[in-house]
C-alpha cells in the first residue's frame, strides 16, 4: 500500500481526527524546510570558507614562490658576481704571468744577445791569439836564424841586441799605452775630486745664497737693536754663543740677520729671538732660557716631521733616532729643494718602480726615504753624507740591502743589489724632474750673462741672445767675416766651450744665424 492510498483511507474514514496529523505534517514540513535551509546555508558557508582558504593558500603559495624566486635570483647574482671576480682575478693573474713571461723572454733574449756577443768576442780573441801564436812562431824562427848568424857573439852581446830590437819594435805601443794610462788616471782623479767636492758640499751645506743660509728677523722698532746688542755687546755675544749662529745688525731699518750654514741652528735662533723680542726681557739669563726652550720646541717639531714622513710612506720599525734625524731634513735644502720632501718623493718613486719590475716595494721605499739621512746628522762627522747615513742606519739595525743602497746611491761604493741601482734612478728622477730644483734670480741672471758672454767671445759673433730660460742661445754672426762652413764650426766650438766651462741644468740648444740683407729704396 502506498502513502497516498493510506492517506486516502484516512481521509475517508470518519472515525479519525485529522487535525493532529495535519499539524504534524505541517510541522514536519516546516522543520524539513528549516533543516534544509540551515543545511544549505552551512554548505554555502563551507564552500565560501573553503574558497577563502584556497585563495589564502594560493596567495601564500605565490608569496613563497616569489620569495624562492628572489632567493634564487640573489643566489644567481651572487654566483655571477663571484664568477666575475674569479674571472677578473684569473685575468689579472694571466696578465701578471704574461708580463713575467715577457720579462723572462726579454731576459732570455738579452742573455742570447750577450752570449752571441761573448761568442763573437771569444772568436775574435781566438783568432787574435792564433795570429799572435803564428807571429811568435815566425819571430822565433827569425830570431833563431839571427842567433845562428851571430853565434860567434857572447851571451851578453846577444841579450843587448835582442833588448834593443824589442824596444824599437814596441816603442810606439809602449808610448800609446803610457799615454792612455796617464789620461785614464788623470780622468779618474778628476772624477774622484769632483765627487769629493760635490759630496762635501751636499753633506755640509746647501747652496750658499741668502735665501738658504740667512734668516731675516723683523723688529718692532729701532730701539730693539740696542737691547739685542746689550751693554758692551754682552747680549749678542751670549746669543751667538748659545745658538752657534751669527747675528748681524747693520743699518737696515727694523731688521736683523741670522746667518748659519746649519739650518737647524738657524731655526732655533730664529724661534728664540722671536720669543725674546715678544717677551722684552733680553739679558744673558733669559737668552739661555729661551734658547733652551727653542731647542726643545724644534726637537719636537723635527721629531713630528720625521714621524709624518714615515706615516706618508707607511713604513714600520724605524728606530726613534732615525726618525729624529729624518725630521732635521725639514730645515735643509739642496738647490732650493727641501731634502725631506725629496726623500719622501724618492721613496714613492722607488716603491712605484720596484712594483713595476717585480721587486719588494717596501725595501725600495725604505731605502728611498733614508738615502739622504746623512745630511741630517751633525756636520762634525767626516765623510760623505751617503757613507755617514749608511753607517748611521746600520748602527740602528737596518738590513744590509738598505744600508748598501744608501751607501751606493752616489756610486761611492759598488752596488751589491738591484735595489741600489733602483735607488740611484729614483733619486735622479726626483732631482732632475721639472720644477724640483730652482735657483735664485741673481744666479739665474749671472748664468745667462755668462752664456751670452761666452758666445760673444768667439771671433765673428755680432750678437748673442740666451732664451728659453737659458736652455737655448741664438748667435748672430757677421755674414761678411763668417762663411757658412765657419758658422757651422762656430756652433761646434761654442758647444765644446759650454760643456767644458759652464755648469747648467739639462741641455742647451745652440743656433748660429748667418744672414745677409740688401735694402734699396726707389723714389
| Higher local confidence (pLDDT), 428 or 503 | 428
Of the listed ranges 174-188, 248-262, 267-281, 426-440, the one predicted with least confidence: 426-440
Question: Residue range 41-46: average pLDDT?
Answer: 85
What is each CA distance from 62 to 25, 28, 46, 69, 74, in whole angstroms?
A: 54, 50, 24, 10, 18
Long-range contact pairs involving 308-315 (C-beta distance under 8 Å, separation at least 24) = 309/340, 309/343, 309/344, 309/369, 310/369, 312/344, 313/344, 313/347, 313/348, 313/351, 313/365, 313/369, 315/347, 315/362, 315/365, 315/366, 315/369
Higher-pLDDT residue of 141 and 341 is: 341
Range scoring the smallest mean pLDDT among 163-167, 193-197, 266-270, 347-351: 193-197
- Mean per-residue pLDDT, 16-29: 69
pLDDT for residue 16 is more than 80: no
Helix (H) / strand (E) containing 515 = none
Mean pLDDT of 127-136: 81
Query: Which pLDDT does position 194 carry in this prediction?
Result: 54
User: 366 pLDDT band (50/70/90 cuts)?
Assistant: very high
Helix (H, G, I), strand (E, B) or coil at 10: helix
Give the pLDDT of residue 203.
39
Across the chain, mean pLDDT equals 79
| pLDDT for residue 237 | 85
Phi, psi of 472 (to 5 degrees): -150, 145
HSE-CB of 430 using CA atoms within 13 angstroms? 29
pLDDT-derived band of residue 521, with 50, 70 and 90 as boundaries? Answer: confident
Residues contacting residue 164 through CB under 8 Å, at least 6 positions apart: none
Q: What pLDDT score does 192 carry?
A: 59
How does strand 333-334 pair with strand 246-248? unpaired
Alpha-carbon distance 523 to 521, whole Å? Answer: 6
CA–CA separation, 368 and 355 (whole Å): 14
Whole-angstrom Cα Rg for the chain: 50
Which residue's C-alpha cell is 752596488? 415
- Identify the pLDDT of residue 434: 56
Rounded distance, CA 322 to CA 45, Å?
92
Q: What is the mean pLDDT of residues 473-479?
A: 90
pTM of the model: 0.45
Phi, psi of 334 (to 5 degrees): -125, 110
How many other C-beta atoms lie within 10 A of the C-beta of residue 112?
10
Average pLDDT value for residue range 175-199 = 63
Is residue 205 scored above 70 in pLDDT?
Answer: no
Helix (H) or strand (E) segment spanning residue 246: strand 246-248
Looking at residue 160, its pLDDT comes to 74
* Percent of the chain residues past pLDDT 70, beyond the cut: 80
For residue 211, the model assigns a pLDDT of: 43
Q: What is the tens place of the pLDDT at every residue in 393-430?
A: 998 889 999 999 999 888 888 888 888 888 888 888 77
pLDDT (tens digit per residue) in 277-325: 888 788 888 888 888 888 888 888 888 888 988 888 888 888 888 888 8
Phi/psi of residue 432, nearest 5 degrees = -100, 0
Q: pLDDT exceeding 90 applies to what percent of the chain?
A: 3
DSSP state of 331: G
In this predicted structure, the answer to whether residue 206 has a pLDDT above a threshold of 80 is: no
Contact 493, 502 (CB under 8 A): no
> Is the confidence at residue 442, as pLDDT, over 70?
no
Amino acid at each position: 500500500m502506498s502513502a497516498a492510498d493510506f492517506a486516502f483511507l484516512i481521509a475517508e474514514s470518519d472515525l479519525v481526527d485529522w487535525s493532529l496529523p495535519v499539524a504534524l505534517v505541517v510541522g514536519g514540513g516546516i522543520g524539513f524546510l528549516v533543516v534544509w535551509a540551515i543545511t544549505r546555508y552551512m554548505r554555502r558557508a563551507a564552500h565560501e570558507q573553503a574558497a577563502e582558504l584556497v585563495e589564502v593558500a594560493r596567495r601564500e603559495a605565490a608569496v613563497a614562490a616569489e620569495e624562492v624566486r628572489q632567493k634564487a635570483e640573489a643566489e644567481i647574482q651572487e654566483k655571477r658576481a663571484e664568477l666575475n671576480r674569479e674571472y677578473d682575478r684569473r685575468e689579472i693573474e694571466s696578465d701578471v704571468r704574461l708580463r713575467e713571461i715577457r720579462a723572462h723572454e726579454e731576459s732570455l733574449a738579452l742573455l742570447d744577445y750577450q752570449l752571441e756577443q761573448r761568442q763573437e768576442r771569444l772568436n775574435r780573441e781566438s783568432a787574435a791569439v792564433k795570429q799572435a801564436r803564428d807571429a811568435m812562431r815566425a819571430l822565433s824562427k827569425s830570431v833563431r836564424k839571427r842567433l845562428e848568424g851571430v853565434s860567434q857573439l857572447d851571451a851578453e852581446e846577444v841579450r843587448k841586441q835582442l833588448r834593443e830590437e824589442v824596444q824599437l819594435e814596441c816603442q810606439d805601443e809602449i808610448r800609446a799605452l803610457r799615454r792612455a794610462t796617464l789620461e785614464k788616471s788623470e780622468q779618474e782623479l778628476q772624477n774622484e775630486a769632483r765627487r769629493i767636492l760635490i759630496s762635501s758640499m751636499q753633506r755640509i751645506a746647501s747652496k750658499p745664497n741668502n735665501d738658504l743660509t740667512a734668516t731675516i728677523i723683523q723688529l718692532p722698532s729701532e730701539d730693539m737693536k740696542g737691547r739685542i746688542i746689550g751693554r758692551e755687546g754682552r747680549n749678542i755675544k751670549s746669543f751667538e754663543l748659545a745658538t752657534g749662529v751669527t747675528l748681524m745688525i747693520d743699518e737696515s731699518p727694523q731688521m736683523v740677520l741670522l746667518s748659519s750654514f746649519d739650518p737647524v741652528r738657524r731655526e732655533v735662533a730664529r724661534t728664540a729671538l722671536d720669543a725674546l723680542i715678544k717677551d722684552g726681557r733680553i739679558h744673558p739669563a733669559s737668552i739661555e732660557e729661551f734658547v733652551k726652550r727653542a731647542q726643545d720646541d724644534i726637537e719636537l717639531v723635527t721629531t713630528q716631521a720625521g714621524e709624518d714622513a714615515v706615516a706618508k710612506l707607511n713604513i714600520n720599525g724605524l728606530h726613534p733616532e732615525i726618525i729624529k734625524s729624518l725630521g732635521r731634513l725639514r730645515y735643509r735644502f739642496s738647490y732650493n729643494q727641501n731634502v725631506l720632501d725629496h726623500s719622501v718623493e724618492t721613496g714613492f718613486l722607488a716603491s712605484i718602480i720596484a712594483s713595476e719590475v717585480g721587486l719588494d716595494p717596501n725595501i725600495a721605499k725604505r731605502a728611498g726615504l733614508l738615502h739622504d739621512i746623512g745630511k741630517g746628522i751633525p756636520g762634525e762627522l767626516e765623510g760623505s753624507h751617503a757613507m755617514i747615513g749608511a753607517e748611521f742606519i746600520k748602527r740602528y739595525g737596518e738590513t744590509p740591502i738598505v744600508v748598501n743602497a744608501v751607501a751606493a746611491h752616489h756610486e761611492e761604493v759598488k752596488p751589491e743589489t738591484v735595489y741600489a741601482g733602483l735607488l740611484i734612478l729614483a733619486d735622479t728622477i726626483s732631482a732632475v724632474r721639472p720644477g724640483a730644483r730652482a735657483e735664485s734670480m741673481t744666479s739665474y741672471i749671472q748664468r745667462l750673462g755668462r752664456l751670452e758672454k761666452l758666445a760673444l767671445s768667439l771671433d765673428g759673433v755680432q750678437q748673442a741672445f740666451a732664451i728659453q730660460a737659458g736652455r737655448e742661445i741664438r748667435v748672430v754672426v757677421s755674414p761678411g767675416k763668417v762663411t757658412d762652413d765657419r758658422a757651422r764650426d762656430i756652433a761646434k766650438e761654442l758647444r765644446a766651450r759650454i760643456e767644458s766651462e759652464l755648469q747648467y741644468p739639462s741641455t742647451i740648444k745652440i743656433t748660429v744665424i748667418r744672414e745677409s740683407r740688401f735694402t734699396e729704396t726707389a723714389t
